[in-house]
Amino acid sequence: MNLRPLEDHVVVKPLEAEAKTAGGIILPDTAREKSTKGEVVAVGKGKLLPNGKRVEPQIKAGDKVIYGKYSGTDVKLNANEYKIVKESEILAIIA
User: What element of type H or E holds 5?
Assistant: none
CB 42 within 8 A of CB 4: yes
User: What element of type H or E holds 11?
Assistant: strand 9-14
Output the pTM of the full model: 0.81
Q: Residues 57-95: pLDDT tens digits?
A: 999 999 999 999 889 999 999 889 999 999 999 999 998
What DSSP state is assigned to residue 63?
-
Q: Which CATH class is domain 9-94?
A: mainly beta
Average pLDDT of the residues in 4-8: 92
Cα dist. 84→18, 21, 87 in Å?
Answer: 22, 28, 9
CA–CA distance, 65 with 49 (Å, rounded to integer): 25
